[in-house]
Amino acid sequence: MPANQDQEFIISRVFDAPRTTVLGCFTDAKRLRHWWGPKGFAVFKSELDLRVGGMYHYGMKTANGQVMWGRFVFREIVPPEKLVFISSFSDEQATLQPPPFPGSWPVEMLSTFLFEDVAGGKTKFTVKWSPHNAGDAEKATFAEGHASMTGGWTGTLDRLESYLRTR
């Protein structure tokens, strides 16, 4: 087993917006619809039940019509500091599904989103991501995928940054 197999993926970005504004982009289904997901995807369904045990269920579509469904099941909600949830792919009914691409990507990811005040009214947002209920093959795939995750999250955070400029 590689030494970094259980290594958590972490990425951060400082946004020129107050913490409550940035947090609100993650806790309002209408706002999420405008920016959530990697570049090239548009959210067409965005339903949020923001409570421990509640769920964010979303549907995304690429320009060529490929549809992907996902969900977050909330474990901890501590405004304005953090959100902790299990993220996964799903179907249209929000039933847990395996990832829609080949390989042994983890079915479930433990996601922690942290929101910190920064001088000048800015907010540091940090994503911590790790496999949840994963076997060795899934953990290895996760460890090997950090560069790809950096690209995907960078695109998502770019979209959030653009959205915040319109607020």
CA-nearest of 125, 122, 68 to 98 is 68
Q: Cα(25)–Cα(43) distance, rounded to whole angstroms?
A: 14
Mean pLDDT estimate for the chain: 94
Q: What is the mean pLDDT of residues 55-72?
A: 96
Q: What is the mean pLDDT of residues 71-76?
A: 98
CA-nearest of 12, 60, 11, 58 to 40 is 60
* Size of the chain, expressed as the number of residues it contains: 167
Q: Cα(148)–Cα(68) distance, rounded to whole angstroms?
A: 18
How many domains does the chain divide into? 1
pLDDT-based confidence at residue 20 (cuts at 50, 70, 90): very high
Confidence (pLDDT) at 132: 97
Confidence (pLDDT) at 7: 83
Given a cut of 50, is residue 152 above it in pLDDT?
A: yes
Q: Cα(150)–Cα(147) distance, rounded to whole angstroms?
A: 5
Percent of the chain residues topping a pLDDT of 70: 96
Given a cut of 90, is residue 139 above it in pLDDT?
A: yes
Residue 41 domain-assigned (yes or no): yes
Residue 98's contacts (CB-CB under 8 Å, 6 or more residues apart) are 89, 107
Containing domain of residue 52, as a range?
9-165
Residue 30 domain-assigned (yes or no): yes
CATH code, 87: 3.30.530.20
Neighbours of 69 (CB within 10 A): 19
Using DSSP, state whether 151 is helix, strand or coil: helix
Confidence (pLDDT) at 1: 34
State the pTM of this model. 0.94
CA-nearest of 32, 28, 27, 26 to 44 is 32
Q: What is the mean pLDDT of residues 66-78?
A: 97
Question: In which residue are the tokens 């369904």 written?
Answer: 45
Q: Cα(119)–Cα(98) distance, rounded to whole angstroms?
A: 41
pLDDT tens by residue, 75-130: 999 999 999 999 999 999 999 999 988 889 999 999 999 999 999 999 999 999 99
Confidence (pLDDT) at 6: 56
Residue 27's contacts (CB-CB under 8 Å, 6 or more residues apart) are 48, 50, 79, 83
Residue 4 domain-assigned (yes or no): no
Question: In which residue are the tokens 């847990």 written?
Answer: 96
